[in-house]
Amino acid sequence: MAKKPYQPPVQSKGGQIFDSFFILALVYAALLTPLLLGLGASNGATKHQTAPTWESLHQNTTMAQQWEKLGYTPKTAAPIIEQQFDYSINYGYLLLTIVVIGGYFFFMLKASRKEYLEVIDEKFGDDSH
């Protein structure tokens, strides 16, 4: 026997507008949070040379020639060349990231499954004898 189909409430105009803006506000929050916490892309510290030359920047003649064609001198190129990523792993932080992503998928799949069974039962009739 199929159960009575679920009748959703009708959403008011105001509610519809509020919901659209709620999601937007959430997106901006996610974009801005890393900035507010002062956590940009984690580039490692750059070591500054006072009087860089192409040699001291480890650029061979061809590289130096291409840099110059692009309009750079050793002084202007130095900040670009010396920029380094820091790939040292902070295991506590890594673990936190794994827990967050794992937890997200776990919760989502569990909740989806519950909702999905409801959909299937309403669509094809209840089959739990």
Partner 1 sequence: MTDATTASAPPQPQRLQLLRVLGPVHVWALGVGIVLVGEFMGWNFSVAKGGAMGSLIACWVIGLLYTCVAMIDSEVTSTVAAAGGQYAQAKHIVGPLMAFNVGMYLVMAYTMLEAADALVVGDLLHQVAGQFGYAMLDPKPFVVLTIAVLAWLNYRGIFATLSINFVITAVAFLTIVVLFFALKPWDPTAALHHKELLTGLPYGWIGVIAAFQFGIWYYLGIEGTCQAAEEVRSVGRSLPLGTMTGMITLLIAASLTWYVASGLVPWQYLGQASVPLFDTARLTGSRFLEVFLFVGTLFSAVASANGTITDAARAWFSMSRDRYMPQWFGAVHPRFRTPFRAVVFLVPVAVSFAFTGLLDQVITFSILSGLLGYTFMSFNMIKFRKQWPLGSIKRAYTHPFHPVPAITLMALCITTYFATYLGYGSQLLAMMGFYIVASLWFHFHRYKYVRRADQFTMPWPRPRLSR
Residues contacting partner 1: total by CB under 8 A: 75
How far from each other are the two terminal CA atoms of the chain, in whole angstroms? Answer: 10
Q: Which helix (H) or strand (E) holds 66?
A: helix 61-69
Residues from 84 through 123 that contact partner 1 (CB under 8 A): 85-87, 89, 93-94, 96-97, 100-101, 104-105, 107-109, 111-120, 122-123
Out of 48, 50, 92, 128, name the contact with partner 1 by CB under 8 A.
128
Write out the binding residues for partner 1, residues 7-66 only, by CB under 8 A: 8-9, 11, 15-17, 19-20, 22-24, 26-35, 37, 39-43, 59-63, 66
Choose, by CB under 8 A, the member of 46, 53, 73, 83 that binds partner 1: 83
Q: Around 72, how many Cα atoms within 13 Å sit in the side-chain half-sphere? A: 18
CA gap 103, 97 in Å, rounded: 10
Residue 127 binds partner 1 (CB under 8 A): yes
| Distance of alpha carbon 9 from alpha carbon 114, whole angstroms | 20
